[in-house]
Amino acid sequence: MSNIAVLNNVDHKELRIITSRSAVYGDDVNCAITFPAEFRNLQANYPIVFGQEPETGQFVPLALFGFTRGQNLFLKDDGWDANYIPLVVERQPFLIGVPQVSDAVDGSRGPVIHVDMDSPRISHDDGERVFLAHGGISEYLDHVNSVLKTINDGLIVGEAFAKVLQEQGLLEPFSLDVELNDGSQNRMAGYHTINEQKLAGMSGDELASLHQHGYLMAIYMVIASMSNLRALIDRQNALLEQ
């Protein structure tokens, strides 16, 4: 359940946000939506795969944290074990939305920051202050605003990127059979990745078009990121040994 409210410095003047990383705060997820603008940072840590929305058939790029639902192999007792946290994870419990007329603070119907007041990150005693004592925006909230704008702009590009990949036949389903150190057999399926054979067979003009749209570099980042599947398996094996 969520209790979404338009953020304002009157109702939320004492609001603080806990920024620690833990399953207690909702970080026990096995993937997060991403977009090409952060692929360069992601590919050093996580496999980037594509999930398909069952209702629309559209593909969505995802950063993968684990093999099963609710499994985040990057969560440790002392926080998130990676040098980059995907922005869709970092932005919690904030999101961008268009308020209802009755909720609009200043009558504007443009995108504004919302906050999930039921999030376990919400606090009035611990964490980062959202507003300053006199009502001004804190440095933390200024950062959140930048993150949300990057996400909002990035998701628009990501949707177009995935659509082009689908139209060009550059996505293919893949499965991964994994034998862990305890002898258990596991299969990961349901995701798509770049069809490298199709990519290699594209004409110069087709590749140039992808490059002009900024997609070619993103494609190679996705391909490079798949080497992180081995690292995920190592993390799973390390967990079994604890």
**176-194 per-position pLDDT tens digit:** 888 888 888 888 889 999 9
Other Cβ atoms within 10 Å of 62 Cβ, number? 22
- Residue 78: give the domain boundaries: 4-235
Residues 51 and 31 sit within 8 Å (Cβ to Cβ): yes
pTM of the complete model:
0.91
| Distance from C-alpha of 58 to C-alpha of 161, rounded to nearest angstrom | 11
What's the pLDDT at 106? 53
Q: Mean pLDDT over residues 93-100, rounded? A: 82
Look at residue 63 and give its three-state secondary structure. strand
Domain membership flag for residue 47: yes
In the chain, the number of structural domains is: 1
The answer to which of 52-56, 153-157, 158-162 has the lowest mean pLDDT is 52-56
Domain membership flag for residue 240: no
pLDDT score of 99 more than 70:
no
Domain membership flag for residue 81: yes
Other Cβ atoms within 10 Å of 53 Cβ, number? 9
**Buried b or exposed e, range 179-209, using 16+ CB within 10 angstroms:** eeeeeeeeebeebbbbbeeebeebeeeeeee
Mean confidence (pLDDT) of the chain:
92
Domain membership flag for residue 241: no
Domain membership flag for residue 215: yes
pLDDT score of 137 more than 70:
yes
Other Cβ atoms within 10 Å of 123 Cβ, number? 14
pLDDT score of 100 more than 90:
no
**117-127 per-position pLDDT tens digit:** 999 999 999 99
| Distance from C-alpha of 48 to C-alpha of 226, rounded to nearest angstrom | 7
Q: Mean pLDDT over residues 1-29, rounded? A: 93
Q: Mean pLDDT over residues 214-236, rounded? A: 96
What's the pLDDT at 182? 86
Band of the pLDDT at 72, cuts 50, 70, 90?
Answer: very high
The answer to which of 67-76, 103-112, 173-182, 225-234 has the lowest mean pLDDT is 103-112
Q: Mean pLDDT over residues 2-27, rounded? A: 94
- Name the DSSP class of 137: B
Residue 154 φ then ψ, to 5°: -65, -35
pLDDT score of 235 more than 90:
yes
pLDDT score of 70 more than 60:
yes
pLDDT score of 210 more than 90:
yes
